[in-house]
Structure 1
Amino acid sequence: MIDALKGIGEIGMGSRLKRVSDYMMRETQLVYNEFNIDFDPYLFPVFKIIKNKNGVTNTEINASLKTSQPATTQTLNKLIKKQLIILKEDKHDKRKKIIFLSKKGIELIQKITPLWESIEHIIKEYTAIQSNSLIEHLNILEEKFNQKDFSQAIIEHVKMNTTTKTIEIVDFKNEYSTSFYNLNIEWLKSFFYVEAFDEEVLSNPEKYIINKRGHIFFAKLGAEIVGTVALMPKDGTYELTKMAVSPNYRGHKIGQLLMQHCIDFATKNNFKSLILYSNRKLENAIYIYRKYNFIEIPVEEDSPYERSDIKMKLNLN
């Protein structure tokens, strides 16, 4: 269906901005509802000012937001009705009311702040656009909204951050051997294929890694193993290898948690460097490796992996 408002062009700028604003407010409300938070996104600017100030007047809020007195008063009445703020008399002028967060308001801040952080993150991500005009910018932004709902992106980001904060990195135990095998086999079948060398190592992690002074780490969420990685001795250094994350938890930065743990472990134990093998089609992975300061080095002719077309190294000392 043709977007009539979009076709109007620059003359419809005000209506376009209102449509985007209304959409983002509705989507933000869906986020609050998802996490059972009783809050109205239209109350956010006034509530945030009250939160940032240790006592503020109605007039000061108006001056900060450049809104009308009736609009501010209406918002304050809604916040009072929700019992999120309290009004106290000014010590020097009893006609003046000073606005503070209530106990319930302070409690709400603790619950809602992680959502605000995710909302801000997704807004930055969605609006990082190169364009020649505001209308072009809006066209691209609304297309992003069509590709993925603003609320869904925020909810996923909140859940991702919640997950990573509850992940525990643990050392190898024999009882985790099956998880080590299954996670890696699933990953290989999803992105490549299982080579004979993979099958041999994954089936015998103690023989090929642990008993050779290697290390295997696991990302544990509650009682569930959701990711794994190994540091395998190779040519006087250690290969960061066999990293795999459960498909149910990909996109939650678990791989980065495992990588950082390996780097911290290697640094603590005075490893001189780490190496890894990968494939250039894994663009996101290569980007992350470079983010952690791995640099590309030549792949040897007798590389243990047929699928590998890039080798990288991280110098630690």
Structure 2
Amino acid sequence: MNLYQSLGYLVLGSRLRRLSESFLSEINRAYQNAGIDFDASWFPVFYLLSKNDSLSIKELSEQTEVSHPAASQLITNLKKRKLVTSVTSADDGRRQQVQLTDSGRQLLQQILPMWDAVLSAMTELVTEDEACKELLPAISALENAFKSVNLSERINNKLSSKIKSAANE
């Protein structure tokens, strides 16, 4: 058992970040090996724009569950690469609608088979180990638990209880 495994929930965030970084690195390597200039971090925006003609930055932010500034920064990066553009909304002049450019649509056609291959490879990988089959349901359950419980408050309550117990001893 390595250090991270032995520390359990104390390093949950670090383990999830390491797992995410490893996964995204492998996905980026697969794009690179296929000769596709695409970064896995762009996936949520490309996926949503593949399903919608255009979306506002606010809609992208809400659907990807990232902050508005983070979504805006990603869109700015994609604009610099000429993969997306934004136009002023017809019904609200303050809102910018983001859409794929011709280059973005061409890139989308290149990456669609990769998405199928990623899904297939991950499904195969997960079915090889019984414990892995529970990964996505467990992550969903934990996400829901974090939404319904104030973890920092619970931690502070535990700490207060320990301090009170120690003071009474």
* Aligned residue number for residue 205 of structure 1: none
| Alignment partners' CA distance in 2, 1:127 and 1:19 | 18
* Aligned residue number for residue 34 of structure 2: 35
How far off is 1:123 after superposition?
1.3
Unaligned segments of structure 2, at least 5 residues: 139-169
* Aligned residue number for residue 213 of structure 1: none
How far off is 1:115 after superposition?
0.9
How far off is 1:74 after superposition?
1.1
8 Å CA contact 2:46, 2:108 repeated in 1: no
How far off is 1:17 after superposition?
1.3
* Aligned residue number for residue 59 of structure 1: 58
* Aligned residue number for residue 97 of structure 1: 96
Letter in 2 for 1:24: F
How far off is 1:106 after superposition?
0.7
| Alignment partners' CA distance in 2, 1:32 and 1:38 | 7
* Aligned residue number for residue 256 of structure 1: none
How far off is 1:58 after superposition?
0.6
* Aligned residue number for residue 108 of structure 2: 109
* Aligned residue number for residue 164 of structure 2: none
| Alignment partners' CA distance in 1, 2:91 and 2:126 | 46
Deviations 1:150-194 (A, max 9, x none): xxxxxxxxxxxxxxxxxxxxxxxxxxxxxxxxxxxxxxxxxxxxx
Letter in 1 for 2:64: L
How many residue pairs align between the two structures? 134
Identity %: 27
What TM-score do the two structures reach when normalised by structure 2?
Answer: 0.72
The farther-off stretch of 10-19 and 47-56 is 10-19
> If each structure's strand is expressed as a fraction of its own residues, which one has the higher value?
1
How far off is 1:130 after superposition?
2.4
Deviations 1:30-78 (A, max 9, x none): 1111111111111111221122111110111111111101110111111
CA RMSD, aligned part only?
2.0
* Aligned residue number for residue 44 of structure 2: 45
How far off is 1:21 after superposition?
0.5
| Alignment partners' CA distance in 2, 1:92 and 1:11 | 49
| Alignment partners' CA distance in 2, 1:51 and 1:68 | 21
- Which 4+ stretches in 1 moved above 6 angstroms? none
Letter in 2 for 1:97: Q
Query: How is 1:265-284 mapped onto 2 (pairs within 5 angstroms)?
Result: none
What TM-score do the two structures reach when normalised by structure 1?
Answer: 0.40
Larger Rg: 1
* Aligned residue number for residue 14 of structure 1: 13
How far off is 1:103 after superposition?
0.2
| Alignment partners' CA distance in 1, 2:34 and 2:65 | 31
Letter in 1 for 2:52: K
How far off is 1:7 after superposition?
2.1
How far off is 1:3 after superposition?
2.5
- Say which SS state the counterpart of residue 131 (structure 1) adopts: helix
